[in-house]
Structure 1
Amino acid sequence: MLVRHMKTHTGEKPHSCEVCGYSCSEKSMLMRHMKTHTGEKPHSCEVCGYSCSEKSMLVRHMKTHTGEKPHSCKVCGYSCSEKSMLMRHMKTHTGEKPHSCEVCGYSCSRKSTLVRHMKTHYGGKQHTCEVCKYTCSEKYKFLRHMKMHAEKKLHSCEVCGYSCSEKYKLMRHMRTHTGEKPHTCEVCGYSFSEKATLVRHMRTHTGEKRHSCELCAYSCYEKSMLMRHMKTHTEEKSHACKVRGYSFSGKLKLVKHMRTHTGDRPHTCELCGYSCSGKSKLLRHMRTHTGEKPHTCEVCGYSCSERSMLVRHMRTHTGEKRHSCELCGYSCYEKSMLVRHMTSHTSEKPHTCEVCGHSFSLKSSLVRHIRTHTGEKPHTCDVCGYSCFRKSDLIRHMKTRLLTHLPCQIAMSYMEIIMIQIAIMEFVNSFIEKSVTRNPVNIIIRTMEKPYSCEVCEYTCSKKSDLVRHVRIHTGEKPHSCKVCGYACSQKSDLVKHIRTHTGVKPHSCEVCGYSCIEKSNLHRHMRTHTGEKPHSCELCGHTCSKKSDLVRHIRIHTGEKPHTCEVCGYSCSTRSSLIAHMRTHTGEKPHSCEECEYTYLKKSDLVRHVRTHIGEKPHSCEVCGYACFQKSDLVKHIRTHTGVKPHCCEICGYSCIEKSNLLRHMRTHTGEKPHSCEVCGYSCSKNSDLVRHIRTHTGEKPHSCEVCGYSCSTISSLIAHMRTHTWP
């Protein structure tokens, strides 16, 4: 024993490996080392078939089956299977860090941690494989790599050809084909294919975090997680991208990043040819074919293909909204929703169209906008071939127009029509169900069941929240109020929209022309001005329109309904806007004024026509003679001069004329009515123009003058007679 001990001082290593040059002080150590080249593993586990080269390793392995942990911490009760592990654990209580870096003074409790830290200074990879030129910085990694060359792979998979050196590895691999998960968690019932995975999972229940950071008290379940965390302190990023210069702490991250440059997508779906860069993405994609939804909600039975979707769905039950806006208090379920919301405050629009320069706050909005240039309409109705830019437009089309695709000549009973409507709704909902894969919060209720009913009016709905909002119609409760002006409403969504009238935020914008508005429904109606879609049609005359409210007003033309009545004079009309305009005749209010001449009008349409007299715009022109005018009504009257149509006729003498105003003046010749009177002398007449000419006899105004001699007169007829004195010989 003394001879062996002395070699630790002299450094003598007389025994060396002929394969790799490894040297050691004792022959027994060399014999153990040679087994790494020969692959000899004489010691095997009778329980699971695990084999190893040394007996001590088998002893340690057997403790994983027996669960024996003879070494325990007297401070916190932590127990482990090996004494060395307990010694390392005790350093977390004593704070002892015996290993320190001579370069920067960094200290740690483990020698292996110091070795890894030293590599951040010299950055060397001193271990190189002579077979494949693989290099690494740590010896244990190098030895593990060398086993890949030395091992004989006696066990192979009959399904995919995978081969390995040990039987227990093949057993684990076969579970990937059979789907067997023999290891089950007793707490939550979750099952795993490997025991090690179950052990790690159990720590999520016990809260055990065996591995802790010596610098910042960070703790975690797995050693690999701690190693990754340590790189945040050392800022070690040894893996660098040669294309862009990005550096990463792990090689796997670099491999994934490089695929963004090479476009490499090694994982391919055998069914549809879909390819992706990550194996996890392919696994998720395969569920779209198999329909597998392994994650189920215990509250309502909702199932989904991804765990993250279930987590988001559970928030609809708990009401948890983890992400909130610091500016306006808006809260939401997902971080991505908050990011989109923040753009409404910053007005940041980082995504710009290269064709027209229009910018957007979301990349998805830019993608949809590009389709207005390319003309691409990727969403198509399978029934009638209707295509559109957005999926939401197609869903609306399927709901509102699908029934019109049925052959109307078929005679059907009432029950047959109801059954067809139910079938249509199931078809639409199945289409929506296929569309909704990412956001379970927005999933539409797919059943016809409406278990909640109003006790006052028999209103029924599928959600309790809808019933609560409906009841407020009867109670008049308005729990949501504006802090700025005191406005109160029954729904929170109405308050959010109202607040935008104060802030000026218009989050919904048109991708074609840049029009923005407060409500999404307004944007949908606006988009129809570009697409020309008119989904609402009149059953009596076939008239179509883009808004439902326009159709309601149009129907009143057929029914003669005039629901809006003036409280002053009893005048009634079919639209509220007409009543508002009529009320101004009583109040004298003229809110629309011209900026050029300060002329005021009751209606905005009158102001628009008046402004054309200043700018000279004449948008309405005659196709026969080219005559142009400001108003469409003037063009209609002008066309009658070509057609000879005189629709207005006197019932007394048969006189007919083009304009209704002319007929009104003519009727005064029969009635003797003279509504226009002079305030100076009491003279009265039937025409306003006659009164204007009469007033000039009192004022002496002579607005018409001769350009030849300067003669002026009060009427244009007198000027015409005067001009003849210049033209006669």
Structure 2
Amino acid sequence: MNSLNLIKLERKCAVKETQESSHISEHKTQNTMKQMKKEDNRIYRCDLCSYTSPLICNLKRHTQSHTGEKPFECTECKRKFCSKARLKFHMYSHTGNHPYVCSECNRKCASKYALDQHVKTHVGDKPFMCDICGKSFAQKGGLTTHKQIHLDDREFVCTVCDKTFKQKGNLLRHMTTHTGDKPFLCPECGYKCLTNYTLEIHMRVHTGEKPFSCSECEKVFTNQRCLKMHIRIHTGEKPYTCDVCGQRFRTTSNMYKHNRIHTGKKPYECPVCNKSFRAKYNMRVHLESMHPSGPK
């Protein structure tokens, strides 16, 4: 081996030794971070809703539902999504592929998640149990939301009326009842919104845009929340239970309306005769039939 080759070999060895040292150091750092993650039981909370996760990467993905960021685009129809998983789920609406089949009734589902939720309608399975009070839930999301009752001691206080809220987003929405401040204005109809995201959702009323589609029946929706509630029609999921009679509901709003049967609360009052109603719809029907010339 000549001197030139020896110099090259020495240099390669030095580089290799440095790379190995760097790799070992990086490997140790990764192991340390993994160990820290195991020992760190912190929960990351969304300031705008009740979503929680032990992983900050999940929280970052979740916040896209509020910011409206959608970096993943469908090559067929150019519709955009906030995650690869949602894009993949959407693609079934183009291919018609429903590869997941229920062994009980042969119902076909576009995703394993949809199949899992559907199967629970047959077995009544509630695998997610609260370790504090023992209440069980069919979905992990239902358990996560429920645990806020036990775990979330934070209270956001209204400085005007001292009313308290568990979530910052709810406080911000409440504050508009005092300030009337809704800075985002619709250029089409003048409708005022609390956030830019809410305005973007509202604008779809004018544009006709409905970017969220159901993979089961291809019905489309203006926002993700409406799609999520609609999917429960297919899965049969009713995650909200009345504490008094045990009746189950697909949405919290339906459950709250039902609860008024037990509490006797009638929050909607006729502005003409002061008659009270449990539901806003009933009050509107009353106004139209009994006071047709009254306020709308």
TM-score (norm 2): 0.64
Helix, strand or coil at the partner of 2:42: helix
Structure ranking higher in helix proportion: 2
Helix, strand or coil at the partner of 1:77: coil
Partner of 1:146: 147
> Which of 27, 34, 42 is the matching residue for 1:35?
42
Helix, strand or coil at the partner of 1:35: coil
Given that 1:172 and 1:194 are in contact with CA atoms closer than 8 Å, whether structure 2 keeps it comes out as no
Given that 2:137 and 2:239 are in contact with CA atoms closer than 8 Å, whether structure 1 keeps it comes out as no
Q: Residues 352-501 of structure 1: matches in 2 within 5 Å?
A: 436-437=293-294
Partner of 2:7: none
Partner of 2:191: 190
Cα offset, 1:195, TM superposition:
3.8
Q: Residues 62-73 of structure 1: matches in 2 within 5 Å?
A: 68-73=69-74
**CA distance, structure 2, for counterparts of residue 65 and residue 268 of structure 1:** 30
**CA distance, structure 2, for counterparts of residue 168 and residue 265 of structure 1:** 25
**CA distance, structure 2, for counterparts of residue 27 and residue 121 of structure 1:** 40
Helix, strand or coil at the partner of 1:159: coil
Cα offset, 1:118, TM superposition:
0.9
Query: Measured at CA, do residues 212 and 265 of structure 1 come closer, stay the same or move farther in structure 2, by a change above 3 Å?
Result: same
**CA distance, structure 2, for counterparts of residue 214 and residue 111 of structure 1:** 12
Cα offset, 1:166, TM superposition:
5.7
Query: Measured at CA, do residues 68 and 177 of structure 1 come closer, stay the same or move farther in structure 2, by a change above 3 Å?
Result: same
Partner of 2:264: 264
Given that 2:110 and 2:216 are in contact with CA atoms closer than 8 Å, whether structure 1 keeps it comes out as no
Residues 568-598 of structure 1, C-alpha deviations (whole Å, 9 max, x = no match): xxxxxxxxxxxxxxxxxxxxxxxxxxxxxxx
Residues 34-78 of structure 1, C-alpha deviations (whole Å, 9 max, x = no match): 223xxx66x999xxxx99864424644676798654322221111
**CA distance, structure 1, for counterparts of residue 241 and residue 55 of structure 2:** 39
**CA distance, structure 2, for counterparts of residue 151 and residue 240 of structure 1:** 21
Query: Measured at CA, do residues 69 and 221 of structure 1 come closer, stay the same or move farther in structure 2, by a change above 3 Å?
Result: closer
Given that 1:239 and 1:250 are in contact with CA atoms closer than 8 Å, whether structure 2 keeps it comes out as yes
**CA distance, structure 2, for counterparts of residue 66 and residue 130 of structure 1:** 33
- Amino acid across the alignment from 1:147: Q
**CA distance, structure 1, for counterparts of residue 39 and residue 160 of structure 2:** 38
Cα offset, 1:211, TM superposition:
3.0
Given that 1:51 and 1:166 are in contact with CA atoms closer than 8 Å, whether structure 2 keeps it comes out as no
**CA distance, structure 1, for counterparts of residue 60 and residue 228 of structure 2:** 27
**CA distance, structure 1, for counterparts of residue 248 and residue 65 of structure 2:** 39
Partner of 1:160: 161
Partner of 1:120: 121
Partner of 2:223: 222
Partner of 1:380: none
Cα offset, 1:192, TM superposition:
1.6
- Structure number with greater CO (CA < 8 Å, separation at least 6) is 2
Report the structure number with the largest CA radius of gyration: 1
**CA distance, structure 2, for counterparts of residue 259 and residue 164 of structure 1:** 21
**CA distance, structure 1, for counterparts of residue 249 and residue 60 of structure 2:** 39
CA RMSD of aligned residues (A): 4.6
**CA distance, structure 1, for counterparts of residue 268 and residue 258 of structure 2:** 18
Cα offset, 1:237, TM superposition:
7.0
Partner of 1:136: 137
Cα offset, 1:142, TM superposition:
0.4
Partner of 2:21: none
Residues 272-294 of structure 1, C-alpha deviations (whole Å, 9 max, x = no match): 9854324x479x7xxxxxxxxxx
Cα offset, 1:109, TM superposition:
1.8
Given that 1:44 and 1:58 are in contact with CA atoms closer than 8 Å, whether structure 2 keeps it comes out as no
Residues 238-262 of structure 1, C-alpha deviations (whole Å, 9 max, x = no match): 8899x999986556435534645x4
Query: Measured at CA, do residues 31 and 179 of structure 1 come closer, stay the same or move farther in structure 2, by a change above 3 Å?
Result: farther
Query: Measured at CA, do residues 152 and 255 of structure 1 come closer, stay the same or move farther in structure 2, by a change above 3 Å?
Result: closer
**CA distance, structure 2, for counterparts of residue 166 and residue 236 of structure 1:** 25
Cα offset, 1:266, TM superposition:
4.9
Cα offset, 1:168, TM superposition:
5.0
Residues 576-635 of structure 1, C-alpha deviations (whole Å, 9 max, x = no match): xxxxxxxxxxxxxxxxxxxxxxxxxxxxxxxxxxxxxxxxxxxxxxxxxxxxxxxxxxxx
Given that 1:44 and 1:51 are in contact with CA atoms closer than 8 Å, whether structure 2 keeps it comes out as no
Residues 456-511 of structure 1, C-alpha deviations (whole Å, 9 max, x = no match): xxxxxxxxxxxxxxxxxxxxxxxxxxxxxxxxxxxxxxxxxxxxxxxxxxxxxxxx
Q: Residues 281-296 of structure 1: matches in 2 within 5 Å?
A: none
Given that 2:99 and 2:109 are in contact with CA atoms closer than 8 Å, whether structure 1 keeps it comes out as yes
Helix, strand or coil at the partner of 1:188: coil
Query: Measured at CA, do residues 277 and 194 of structure 1 come closer, stay the same or move farther in structure 2, by a change above 3 Å?
Result: farther
Residues 268-317 of structure 1, C-alpha deviations (whole Å, 9 max, x = no match): 77x99854324x479x7xxxxxxxxxxxxxxxxxxxxx8xx9xx9xxxxx
**CA distance, structure 2, for counterparts of residue 437 and residue 184 of structure 1:** 29
**CA distance, structure 2, for counterparts of residue 248 and residue 166 of structure 1:** 23
Cα offset, 1:171, TM superposition:
2.8
Given that 1:127 and 1:138 are in contact with CA atoms closer than 8 Å, whether structure 2 keeps it comes out as yes
Query: Measured at CA, do residues 130 and 264 of structure 1 come closer, stay the same or move farther in structure 2, by a change above 3 Å?
Result: farther
Given that 2:142 and 2:239 are in contact with CA atoms closer than 8 Å, whether structure 1 keeps it comes out as no
